[in-house]
């Protein structure tokens, strides 16, 4: 089978398409003939050698933690009804709060039967994979935020996969949204999805502008950017507001004065405070799928690349030109 390997840490040029033996499932696993693989910002960071304390990877390895395709083989303990089904799933090695997001950029990939979600007829494989990470995380984060009608919500990295979903969910809840991103194209996307106001965080003092727009700060700040941008977003949360830092699109999680925020009564939560083990990930994935299939939610797939253009896919994310989700097409996607 064809697969992408990281043979050494470095830039996109270390990604190589190679021929490997097809994997064999253990008793509780399946083999998925991959049509589409999700390409995450995290994939690019791990490829560069970042995060060894959290993700101890040793090249060579196959990147990719979420896939969509057709189940072609099953282990001895797996229900035979899964054979031939179109599914979306994390890879066998991947997992929230643990595991490694690897094994997905390949024509065949292993998955645990317990993580399989059948793709409904009203959803394409690309849409399902676009939701694989962001759909469930967006709903878990949004549920925790308990956004109120008429309140102000700030969303950083608003043109990313999570940001586009959180914008739509907040608008549907009756909130007012300030979307923060970089560049006219990304701000235009946020406006199309319903944001009331947009700010470009290339402009100095953008967080002060947010405070002015919201009349003293956002009741809820969703931070998908992290780094210095996340730190600025923390200051734009209202007194007694809520700050949820779940992303690191700027290179790391939010750098901010948490003590000062807490002194103002701001509740500060990180990703692992939000997505505990009690979350029904299969159920929440199905819920996100239903919302898209029914037209209540749009999954924004900004760019897709065939497997032999995987270097371009990583470069698009690292160059900050990508909108929404970035996908790798491997087989014939429906």
- Please state the domain count of the chain: 2
Are 101 and 175 contained in the same domain?
no
Determine, yes or no, domain membership for 291: no
Which tens digits make up the pLDDT trace of 95-106? Answer: 765 689 999 999
* CA dist 200 → 167, 185, 204, 212, 259 (Å): 16, 11, 9, 15, 26
Pair 306, 190 in one domain: no
Does 64 lie in the same domain as 33?
Answer: yes
Whichever domain contains 112, its CATH number is: 3.90.180.10
- Verdict on whether the full-model pTM lies above 0.85: yes
Instruction: Render pLDDT for 57-88 as a digit per residue (tens, 0 to 9).
Output: 999 999 999 999 999 999 999 999 999 999 99
| 334: pLDDT strictly greater than 50 | no
Asked whether residue 200 is domain-assigned, the answer is: yes
Lowest mean pLDDT among 179-193, 194-208, 230-244, 249-263: 249-263
Instruction: Give the pLDDT confidence score for residue 78 in this predicted structure.
Output: 98
Q: What percent of the chain has pLDDT over 90?
A: 78
Question: In this structure, are 161 and 99 located in the same domain?
Answer: no
Q: Is residue 249 part of a domain?
A: yes
pLDDT band at residue 250 under the 50/70/90 scheme? very low
Q: Which domain holds residue 222?
A: 135-274
Within this chain, do residues 214 and 159 fall inside the same structural domain, yes or no?
yes
Q: Does 143 fall in a domain?
A: yes
Conformation bin of residue 240: beta by default, left when phi > 0, alpha when psi is -120 to 50: left
Q: Are 273 and 242 in contact (CB under 8 A)?
A: no
Vertex 97: Cα angle to 227 and 89 (nearest 5): 110
What CATH number did the domain enclosing 168 receive? Answer: 3.40.50.720
**Do 71 and 102 share a domain, yes or no?**
yes
- Please answer whether residues 180 and 210 qualify as being in contact, where contact means their C-beta atoms are separated by less than 8 angstroms: yes
In whole angstroms, what is the distance from residue 42 CA to residue 99 CA? 13
Between strands 218-223 and 197-200, the pairing is unpaired
Task: Kindly list the distances between the CA atom of residue 187 and the CA atoms of 125, 180, 224, 228, 246, in Å, as whole numbers in the listed order.
Answer: 27, 7, 15, 19, 20
In a domain, 182, yes or no: yes
- The verdict on residue 288 lying in a domain is no
pLDDT: which is higher, 283 or 93: 93
């Amino acid at each position: 089978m064809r697969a992408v390997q990281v043979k050494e840490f470095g830039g996109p040029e270390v990604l190589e398409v190679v021929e490997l033996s097809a994997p064999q499932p253990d008793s509780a696993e399946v083999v998925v003939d991959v049509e589409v693989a999700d390409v995450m910002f995290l994939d690019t960071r791990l490829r560069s050698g970042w995060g060894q304390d959290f993700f101890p990877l040793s090249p060579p390895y196959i990147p990719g933690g979420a896939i969509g395709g057709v189940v072609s083989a099953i282990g001895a303990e797996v229900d035979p009804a899964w054979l031939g089904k179109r599914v979306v799933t994390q890879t066998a090695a991947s997992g929230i709060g643990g595991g490694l997001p690897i094994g997905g950029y390949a024509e065949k990939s292993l998955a645990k039967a317990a993580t399989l979600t059948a793709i409904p007829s009203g959803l394409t494989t690309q849409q399902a994979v676009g939701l694989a990470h962001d759909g469930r995380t967006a709903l878990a984060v949004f549920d925790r935020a308990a956004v109120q009608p008429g309140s102000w919500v700030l969303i950083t990295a608003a043109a990313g996969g999570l940001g586009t979903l959180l914008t739509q969910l907040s608008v549907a809840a009756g909130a007012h949204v300030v979307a923060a991103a970089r560049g006219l194209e990304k701000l235009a996307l946020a406006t199309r999805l319903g944001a009331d106001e947009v700010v470009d965080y290339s402009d100095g003092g953008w967080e002060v502008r947010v405070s002015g727009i919201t009349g003293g700060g956002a009741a809820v700040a969703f931070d998908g950017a992290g780094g210095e941008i996340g730190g600025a977003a923390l200051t734009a949360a209202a007194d007694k507001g809520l700050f949820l830092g779940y992303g690191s699109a700027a290179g790391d999680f939010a750098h901010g004065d948490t003590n000062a925020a807490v002194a103002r009564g701001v509740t500060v939560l990180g990703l692992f405070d939000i997505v505990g083990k009690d979350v029904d990930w299969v159920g929440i994935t199905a819920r996100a799928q239903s919302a898209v299939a029914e037209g209540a939610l749009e999954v924004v797939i900004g760019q897709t690349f065939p497997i032999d253009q995987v270097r371009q896919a990583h470069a698009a994310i690292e160059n900050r030109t990508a909108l929404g989700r970035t996908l790798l097409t491997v087989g014939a996607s429906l």
